[in-house]
Amino acid sequence: MRATELTRSQVRSGLAMLRHVIAKKGWPPLIYTRADGYQFTADGDVLQAYEVGVIREKLTEIRRLITGTVTPHAALAPEDKWVRHMVAQLNSVESTLDLIA
């Protein structure tokens, strides 16, 4: 951000676009770790560790959404078709992510 004078949002958008271009060209993925910063890598162990970390982060976000918003919403509107569908889908996502994390 300092070097480019871009906002945090612009940097995130740029990195997302860069990851898309990298994937299209078949280059090794760009990952970020606190220890090493950004890096391209084709090392399966490094990629798996990164993927598991991201999956755990998303799993935590989904669980917080379920417990903090969806469950209270379901309690307020137990007969609402949308709420029941959302609960079922999010529980499925949570279960799937939990299996691979």
Q: What is the DSSP string of 11-52?
A: HHHHHHHHHHHHHHHTPPPEEEETTTEEEE---HHHHHHHHH
Average pLDDT for 51-70? 95
Token pair for 81? 């078709």
Confidence of residue 84 (pLDDT cuts 50, 70, 90): very high
Q: Considering the entire predicted model, what is its pTM?
A: 0.79
Give the model's confidence band at 60: pLDDT under 50 very low, under 70 low, under 90 confident, else very high. Answer: very high
Chain position carrying tokens 């299209």 = 24
- Residues 6 or more apart in contact with residue 56 via CB below 8 angstroms: 101
